[in-house]
Chains A and B, each alone.
Chain A
Amino acid sequence: MRYNEKELQALSRQPAELAAELGMRGPKKGSVLKRRLVKLVVNFLFYFRTDEAEPVGALLLERCRVTQEEPSGFSISFMEDPERKYHFECCSEEQCQEWMGALRRASYEFMRRSLIFYRNEIQKMTGKDPLEQFGISEEARFQLGGLKA
């Protein structure tokens, strides 16, 4: 699949939601744990060698599942192949919880559901649609009907 790699590289240089040096192990059998600088930017998780400015790779965080594996470790897997896991090791349980929370909230789909929820709540409380002032109340992406199970 073709993709705009230059723009993805530029994205990896943007301000991060969360960034830390973690242990990382790929999904292939026999992968070893490596130290990587891991950076969460919008719905992408970039991982860098600790002394390099360009990322080794990126994971799009849509339709993924974040699972606690050990007290200070978690894994990311994707819906189309739940057994294929990217493993991450943190330095503490607290760091692990922080990353898991952030990654679960990092998808576009999660943001969309949050927006629909807040819109609904505000509308219930005030009787007014808060998206009207931004001129986006008719956007298909923000409609209640857009929510899928």
Chain B
Amino acid sequence: MKLNERSLAFYATCDAPVDNAGFLYKKGGRHAAYHRRWFVLRGNMLFYFEEPASREPVGVIILEGCTVELVEAAEEFAFAVRFAGARARTYVLAAESQAAMEGWVKALSRASFDYLRLVVRELEQQLAAMRAGDCPPPPRRPRALPPKENGCAVWSAEPPPAAAAALILSPAGAAAPAGSRPGPAPPPLPPRRRAWAPNGPPHAGSFARLHEWYGQEVRALRSQWLGSRSRAQP
């Protein structure tokens, strides 16, 4: 697959905000040695350099659809970035202190674009609800054209599942988009929210009623999600 690597390298070294940076030991492969690298987390991209002053990264780990876990390893302060799929790679990394390890695990488990989008949509809804007060929210603009299918690739324009429920439960749990992991089934997609839909939220009435309606949906999704998680525990 072609990738705009030059742009990627530029993004790695530009002045966009850095979400975490520091030295980590990276295991080369399953039976390989650890290499000390300078890691820079920016958005959903985890770049690694030979050293802080390097002008180009050695590589990048794209952080969508991964989970971050602590691991048992000979190396101290080790953790893993694990991807789903049959021959998917697991990146084993080791920090230089307990505090650094905890910082990285937290930062990486919340690094996905999907997670950020959930938070943004949640705040967007909160702000819209507050501004509307007792007035109904405006109907969502329908898409101009339906997405195309080519018979091979899978397409969908559905929004990510269980936005509010996943957020409240745990950031690590929220990091996985639907269909990208084996194991517990992701919560079902909520019905697409249109203000005027027959089974949608009450469009006339107070903010309290709207809040209660969303709250019911969140509680239902939450208990479903918790139920499927406990079923999946080994």
Give me the interface of A with B, judged by CB distance under 8 Å.
1-21, 37, 39, 42-43, 48, 50-60, 62-64, 78-81, 94-95, 98, 108-109, 111-112, 114-115, 118-119, 121-122, 125-126, 130-131, 133-136, 139-141, 146-148
B46 to chain A, nearest CB (A): 10
Residues of B within 8 A of A13 (CB): 153-154, 179
- The A interface, classified by DSSP as helix, strand, loop or mixed, is mixed
B66–A1 contact, CB under 8 A?
no
* A84 to B230 Cα, complex, angstroms: 51
Q: Are B17 and A141 in contact (CB under 8 A)?
A: yes
Q: Please indicate the chain B residues that have their CB under 8 angstroms from the CB of A59 in the complex.
A: 3-4, 7
Is there contact, CB below 8 Å, between A60 and B59? no
The CA-CA distance from A79 to B6 in the complex, in Å, is 11
Counted as pairs of residues, one from A and one from B, with CB atoms less than 8 Å apart, the total is 220
CB neighbours (8 Å) of B148 from chain A are 19-21, 37
**Contact present for B152 and A52 (CB under 8 Å):** yes
Closest 3 CB pairs of A and B: A57-B2, A2-B59, A108-B43
A80 to B177, CA, bound (A): 31
Whole-angstrom distance between the alpha carbons of A2 and B45 in the complex?
12
When chains A and B are docked, how far (Å) is the Cα of A59 from the Cα of B11?
A: 12
Q: Is A122 a contact of B123 with CB atoms below 8 Å?
A: yes
Stretch at the interface among B67-75, B108-116, B197-205: B108-116
B157 partner, pick from A18, A43, A56, beta carbons under 8 A = A18
Query: How many B residues are at the interface, by size bracket?
Result: 35 or more
Task: Please give the distance in Å from B50's CB to the nearest CB on chain A.
Answer: 12
Kindly provide the distance from the CB of A144 to the nearest chain B CB, expressed in whole angstroms: 11
Contact partner of B7 (CB less than 8 A), chosen from A10, A17, A39, A78, is: A78
Cα distance, A140 to B157, chains bound together (Å): 31
Tell me the smallest distance from the CB of A148 to a CB of chain B, in Å.
6
User: A136–B171 Cα gap in the complex (Å)?
Assistant: 9
A133 to B85, CA, bound (A): 33
Select the stretch in B93-101, B124-132, B207-215 that faces chain A. B124-132
The answer to whether B155 touches A19 (Cβ under 8 A) is yes
Give A24 Cβ to nearest chain B Cβ, in Å.
Answer: 12
User: Known: A16-B147, A115-B123. Contact between A3 and B7, CB under 8 A?
Assistant: no
CA distance A137 to B105 in the complex (A): 17
How far does the alpha carbon of A3 sit from the alpha carbon of B160 in the complex, in Å?
Answer: 25
Let me know if A5 and B120 touch, CB within 8 A.
Answer: no
A14 touches B7 (CB 8 A): no
